[in-house]
Structure 1
């Protein structure tokens, strides 16, 4: 049964396969993985680089962790079945101006070969108690106005449409279920 885990080096091979899928579909150009693909994409195959990447992801929730100017603490969860990487979800601990306008608290991605199996819906629903534990009473989740599957995922999780800005639909979801 799929579940969330903290990023873990034992998922290395499957993670690389998933990143190849994202790259082949062109998702890296518009996904939450863009920055990471640009920084690590050519070196993720090296075990020491992947271990450093995993360590960095697991340190991101800490306030004192160095990060790019303007970025906020972030909890990354990988959605896996056994050692198969199915997707990832990021919970941003607070909103900066960009996130408030377009990015939101939660971003998620399901690898192309695992789509249309209910994983995104399960991931978003399972992330709400985690967001609540971080201290978020409600979360902003956005999607492109043209992304009907993501819109359905957000609405299934209880998303209430606030408005549309910059080509994004902006939904609020209570974390207390």
Structure 2
């Protein structure tokens, strides 16, 4: 299904300032986004743990800390984006989030890869994941990456199709533990010419 409207990726650490006039609007929109996942029983993959934060200040600190190399959270630098759809000149919606880990460590080679993402439950099947991933692949090139690894639960048909539409080549399936359950995790590589 084609995307309803174009989306823009923004870095929350650059766009959201505690003393800005739109801080309360950001707080409201991000919490509304977070709540939809929680009410749907979903995790927000690729968000640096947004589901844990009832206020965005702590989450912004977390993603800012994760931008640094050798951080204590994941060990590699991570850039996090929100995907914004402009609904009108005065209104907008967060439709998804995506993050890129600038390089892999042994844990990420096993589970996680370079990129993680989520699309808001009410906004799925509209092409947003493909658009988000394509934009982050362009960003990955600016980091000097020649190829990136992505993975997903083999039963996640939507994510499998997204990765393949963006050039993902299947490399292997692994039995992995994720959130306390065993899953078959499919790994893919995307070359960045």
Tell me the TM-score normalised to structure 2 length. Answer: 0.77
TM-aligned CA deviation for residue 53 of structure 1? 2.6
Whether the 8 Å contact between 2:167 and 2:190 is mirrored in structure 1 is yes
What is the CA distance between 1:158 and its match in structure 2?
A: 0.3
What root-mean-square deviation, in Å, do the aligned CA atoms of Structure 1 and Structure 2 show?
A: 2.0
Q: 1:89 to 1:33 in 2, by over 3 A?
A: closer
The structure that is helix-richer by fraction is 1
Deviation at 1:17, TM superposition (A): 1.0
Is structure 2 residue 156 aligned with structure 1 residue 142?
no
TM-score, scaled relative to structure 1: 0.84
CA distance in 1, matches of 2:50, 2:8: 23
Aligned residue pairs total 165
Q: CA deviation at 1:78?
A: 0.8
Structure with greater Cα Rg: 2
Q: Is the 8 A contact 2:47 2:80 kept in 1?
A: no
| 1:6 paired to 2:8 | no
Aligned-partner Cα distance in 2 for 1:114–1:144: 20
Question: Quick check: 1:89–1:107 contact (8 Å CA) kept in 2?
Answer: yes
Q: Does the 8 Å contact 1:6/1:58 carry over to 2?
A: no
Stretches of structure 2 that go unaligned for 5 or more consecutive residues are 1-5, 17-21, 87-91, 176-183
> Which protein has the bigger strand share?
2
DSSP 3-state at the match of 1:158: coil
Of 67, 75, 91, the residue aligned with 2:72 is 67
Q: Mark the runs of 5 or more structure 1 residues left unpaired by the alignment.
A: 45-49
8 Å contact kept, 1:77–1:90: yes
**How far off its partner does 1:129 sit?**
1.2
**Structure 2: distance between partners of 1:32 and 1:73:** 13
